[in-house]
Amino acid sequence: MSNSNSAAPKIHESWLNVLQPEFDKPYFSDLKNFLVEEKKVYPVYPPGPLIFNTFNQTPFNEVKVVILGQDPYHGPGQANGLCFSVSAGIKHPPSLVNIFKEMQKDLNVPYPKTGDLTGWAKQGVLLLNTTLTVREHSPASHQGKGWEEFTDSVIRSLSEHRNGVIFILWGRHAQNKKPLIDLTRHHILEAAHPSPFSANGFFGCRHFSRANYLLMQSGQTPINWVALG
């Protein structure tokens, strides 16, 4: 999943075992060809080595929580392969600002300095965009090219082969994935998207404390949401 001017993406071995059948399907070959041609003409985010960053940071058998996003950020230097996350030193985008405001109020903690959510990923929070790449300054430009089929298989695999995962679905796009999740085995938390356009329905969801309550109920270690970076 690389091209001549970027290093190969990294992906944890546990996910390779799960996702190899997808890599071998015709749609994925078409997707790779699309990305090769796209990168000849436009900047594409995140950088090639980070496309599968979420799968590299959070092994399959360690996933406790899934947060579903849509597209990667489409500005220079923003996307790092984890949904809603930006690398250290990058200004927090509006949706991330609202996520942090909710966390601040829910958990009574300070507003975070960094927008890098790698600390969540390393604790078992799979930060999954449903489309894993985007053309610079062009939101939704890589939708309908095959990524959705790929990420649907990710959700389906977690649903079928794991137990007690908490799926956090913010906004209609994420909530459309509910049919892929076995509710007899997993939990779903829903709210509006944290975008400024819908944040009034997001604030007050208390998903950080609610997710930790559910984890503790099932004997799992809660997420330290303030451990970022």
**Residue numbers annotated as active site:** 71
DSSP 23-77: HTSHHHHHHHHHHHHHHHHS-EES-GGGTTHHHHHS-GGG--EEEEESSPP-STT
Task: Give the residue among 146, 155, 227, 145 at the shortest CA–CA distance from 188.
Answer: 155
How does DSSP classify residue 163? S
Cα-Cα-Cα-Cα dihedral of 65, 199, 93, 222, to 10°? -20
- Interatomic CA distance for residues 2 and 48, integer angstroms: 6
Whether the CB-CB separation of 103 and 225 falls below 8 Å is answered with: yes
